[in-house]
Structure 1
Amino acid sequence: MKEQITQPGSGARAIKAGLSAIMAAVLSACVNYAGIHSDKQMAQPQQYETTQSLPAESGHWPAADWADQFGDAQLKALLEEALKGSPTIAQARARLAGAQAYADTAKASTMPRVDAEYSLQRQQFSGTAEVPPPYAGTWQTQNTGLLSASYDLDLWGKNRESMKAAVSQVEASEADAEVVKLTLTTAIARTYNQLARLYVLHDIAQQEVGRREQIDRITAGRIATGLDTEVERKTAQANLATARSALAGLDGSILTTRYQLAALMGEGPDRGLAITRPALGVGDEVRLPDNLPANLVSRRPDIVAARWRVDAITHEVKEAKAEFYPDINLSAAIGLDAFGFGRFLTAASRTSNVGPAINLPIFDAGALRAQLKGRYADFDDAVATYNQTLITALSNVATQLAQIRSSDVQLGDAQAAQQAAREADDLAITQYKGGLTNQLTVLNADMNALQADQAVANLLMNRRDQQIALASALGGGYVDTSSESIHSAAAAAPSNPVVAAR
């Protein structure tokens, strides 16, 4: 085999010719994507009117252990257990690992590559083809060993932009994992609060059964004295049965809610049977932090994830633009190639080559333009998604705050109505027992008292549910630190999310 070595004169001419080709390709490529752009911009939180709906109240952002404010040790333990063993969390971690692996692959494309190859082939050569004697018509063993290296110069940054896009996707996946974590803990806390609601309603239902039993006994006594008839007795018995049925229904709801909690924790239904009655407290005072709209963008993981996806697609747009320019790949190889083993490790079997490979996109029937248009469409979609996520986040906070304030106002009136209804119920039963009123009056008073008790209980539980939802809407203690880690991960210049892709 002949040694393939580029001569100095021919190498200089080749480089000059290559540079000329590159310049011509650059000029033509710049024209090819003219007119393809986007003017979409990521919204700034300050541009939305929020001063009235989200007033500054000198409050604090939720801490990572925001659920501890309710003082329930069992809830804290359930949340910790869920974060360790939930398949939902495992899915998020797997997606993050996949994004990190893809980023590592993209980073590898920016580095030189070295390969080693060895092949052995036993072949009978034709006696009438191009192989000359003495090898024509004989069996020969061909040994080939080759050490090769290649490096894409990446003059237009295509590989670097691909790497930056992959790193931004990793950051988005990390924020997504926090979204999953926050969603799971919020769902558990709210379901746990629902369990507490059911226990309180169960207590009210149990008391109602006792009152209905009392009315039934009073009715029986009034029948004996001729004050009531069997109509009133059957009515009392029907109301008692209805109360007992409602109590049994709450027993079933408590059981199914325990099963729901077990499923959220990633456990079987039997795990729910070990969950005891909640002991939730009122929680902290609700006050919004200052400068909320501006700081919310780094406190909500869903907003952070959406922002990093815009950043990733921005780099993909730049990568697509770089496709219009020529690729220059430097490659070199050295090795041995010989028939048989005897001559394989000799100087005469040496083979080598070195040189650039240039890929020039000249005509592709519009494929590159279509690809770039698609990237810009993805960019517009990502920007719109980010803007909608920001709007939804602001609305969520305002909605939960409004509901909490409304519950506080309603609670005062509901408790006053409860007190009056309870006193009226007690007075009606006393009068009914003394023969001063009829059963219908007692039943109406009893129903009013029952509804008042349920209304107060539901308002209290609703307020705590809204408080949990508000902590979640404020990010649940999440703080974005990804803008610092991206520099070391990408080993490149700062890569902050952009406002628009040009």
Structure 2
Amino acid sequence: MKSRTFASSTTNGALKLAASALFVTALSACANYAGIHSEKRIATPNQFDTARTLPGENGHWPAANWVEQFGDAQLTQLIAEALKGSPTLEQAGARVGQARAYSESARAGTLPRVDANYALTRQQYSGVALVPPPFSGSWQTENKALVTASYDLDIWGKHREALKAAVSQAQAAQAEAQFVKLTLETAIARAYNQLARLYALRDIAAQEVARRERIDAITAGRIATGLDTKVERETALSNLATSRANVTAIDGSIASTRFQLAALAGEGPDRGLSIARPALGVGDEVRLPENLPADLLGRRPDIVAARWRVDATTHDIKEAKAEFYPDINLSAAIGLDALGFGHFLSAAGRIASVGPAIHLPIFDAGALRAQLKGRYAQFDEAVAVYDQTLIAALSDVATRLSEVRSSDAQLVDATAAEQAARRADRLAIAQYEGGLTNQLTVLNADVIALNAEQAVANLEMNRRDQAIALASALGGGYVDTSFNEVRRADALADASSVGAAR
């Protein structure tokens, strides 16, 4: 008897040992992510030399209402209209809504789920199969009502990481929407400045018409006295017609720019007809703020969006790694199941179940490793996009600042040249009228004066255009406050998951 007990004990021990060995073998054969990683890291502003091109000048970052610095209420109104009804902004807002909905869906994966189901089935059972009499060959009605509850313990954080990734994607979409808004504001401001440029050039062109009319009148008088011939008169008339054509061409450009502004504001072309002549001022003094490269990271919405994309991919990687580990799901169900209606609500028809379900990937032909490799590739791409966005932003600020400074320097000489050209033009016309010089001298002086006036006008408009672009390059008043908010949300998600698991 003892020998049989010993044999039985030995057999049970061997079975347990074999089972343990099989379990260890299964674990060792499980899919793993060994050797899959990335060495990429996002760039930081101190990696780039910016001390000479972007010096701190005790300036201020643009305010959210940065366009008001130019003192034109009509421009502010146009931007307000655009922000209210622009289809471009509506598209960006829809993308934000989609991203937020996805994050809400991901949050649901971290919480328990409860479902209720009811089914009524009318079925004829076979008379020659497994169903015994009296049900064989008969029609029966089965009523089944079930309440089920399930909860994934999420021991390895798969659902928590999916939630964090979704929240980061939502924040990226929000920052991208702000970038679209800034891009639209900048486009309107620059188009409006272009309208101001066209009006300034039209004034110069109209003054040129008046000068050409005077030259034509002087030429007519000189022909009467025999100082000029019909050749000079025809030349004067040709130049006068050309000047008038220039005014007409500028009028066409003004109309086109008005229609462009109406479209940017989200309105029909008729809205452009009511846009009056701009009354833009010079704007604020251009001085860079301190600690610009570092603070720019939270001031440019495109940089913020790129950073959130990187953050989202890091959580995607952690989620993909969690797929390699066992997944434990707790489930429970209680309900009623009966043939017919007579016993459906009775205690005899009650059914219940409870228990865990464990899923462990052992062999998947490399599917999980391929998925993780893809996530790392997405991470590398997101890092590259962030780095390029940062480099482009620094270059953008440096370029705009350089252009502003260059325009300021050019305006000094261009203004002096314009004043001298005007004096020369007036003197040439006076000498021509007095018979002391010929028409060619007058026309040459007139062209030089015209070019000088246009150069000053274009430099003034260019300088304001570059100031607008610089304000946009500095973020246009945007300030990122979402990073700390998301970190708090992550902490709450972790706490809720841990509390539920307990």
Same fold (TM over 0.5): yes
Q: Which residue of 2 aligns with 1:8?
A: none
Q: Residues of 2 paired with 1:173 and 1:25: CA distance?
A: 46
Superposition deviation, residue 20 in structure 1: 7.3
* Partner SS, residue 334 of structure 2: strand
Q: Residues of 1 paired with 2:170 and 2:25: CA distance?
A: 34
Deviations 1:148-170 (A, max 9, x none): 01111111111110000000001
What percentage of aligned pairs have identical amino acids?
Answer: 71
* Partner SS, residue 462 of structure 1: helix
* Mapped contact 1:169–1:312 kept (Cα < 8 A): yes
Matched, 1:433 2:441: no
Q: Residues of 2 paired with 1:379 and 1:469: CA distance?
A: 31
* Mapped contact 2:31–2:368 kept (Cα < 8 A): no
* Partner SS, residue 32 of structure 1: coil
Deviations 1:439-487 (A, max 9, x none): 1111111000000000000000000000000000000001110012214
Q: Residues of 2 paired with 1:170 and 1:344: CA distance?
A: 48
Matched, 1:106 2:102: no
Deviations 1:120-178 (A, max 9, x none): 11111111111111111111111000000111111111111000000000111110111
Matched, 1:361 2:361: yes
**Which segment is superposed worse, 465-474 or 353-362?**
353-362
Superposition deviation, residue 412 in structure 1: 0.3
Q: Which residue of 2 aligns with 1:243?
A: 243
Q: Which residue of 1 aligns with 2:390?
A: 390
* Partner SS, residue 248 of structure 1: helix
Distance change >3 Å, CA 200–CA 141, structure 1 → 2: same
Q: Which residue of 2 aligns with 1:257?
A: 257
Q: Which residue of 2 aligns with 1:137?
A: 137
* Partner SS, residue 401 of structure 2: helix
What does 1:63-102 align with in structure 2 at a 5 Å threshold? 63-102=63-102
Matched, 1:454 2:454: yes
* Mapped contact 1:209–1:240 kept (Cα < 8 A): yes
Superposition deviation, residue 118 in structure 1: 0.2
Q: Residues of 2 paired with 1:390 and 1:382: CA distance?
A: 12
* Mapped contact 2:56–2:288 kept (Cα < 8 A): yes
Q: Which residue of 1 aligns with 2:295?
A: 295
**Which segment is superposed worse, 413-422 or 318-327?**
318-327
TM-score with structure 1 setting the length: 0.93
2:363 partner amino acid: F
* Mapped contact 2:172–2:309 kept (Cα < 8 A): yes
Superposition deviation, residue 24 in structure 1: 4.6
TM-score with structure 2 setting the length: 0.93
2:390 partner amino acid: L
* Mapped contact 1:487–1:494 kept (Cα < 8 A): no
Distance change >3 Å, CA 97–CA 491, structure 1 → 2: farther
Superposition deviation, residue 25 in structure 1: 8.8
Superposition deviation, residue 363 in structure 1: 1.1
Count of residue pairs brought into register by the alignment: 479
1:94 partner amino acid: A
Q: What runs of 5+ residues in structure 1 fail to find an aligned partner?
A: 1-15, 496-502
* Mapped contact 1:164–1:315 kept (Cα < 8 A): yes
* Partner SS, residue 336 of structure 2: strand
Distance change >3 Å, CA 309–CA 248, structure 1 → 2: same
1:217 partner amino acid: A
Distance change >3 Å, CA 204–CA 398, structure 1 → 2: same
Q: Which residue of 2 aligns with 1:205?
A: 205
Deviations 1:376-432 (A, max 9, x none): 011001011111111111111110000000000000000000001111111111111
* Partner SS, residue 59 of structure 2: coil
Q: Which residue of 1 aligns with 2:6?
A: none
Q: Which residue of 2 aligns with 1:336?
A: 336
Q: Residues of 2 paired with 1:399 and 1:494: CA distance?
A: 45
What does 1:452-491 align with in structure 2 at a 5 Å threshold? 452-491=452-491
Q: Which residue of 2 aligns with 1:321?
A: 321
Distance change >3 Å, CA 177–CA 321, structure 1 → 2: same
Q: What runs of 5+ residues in structure 2 fail to find an aligned partner?
A: 1-15, 496-502
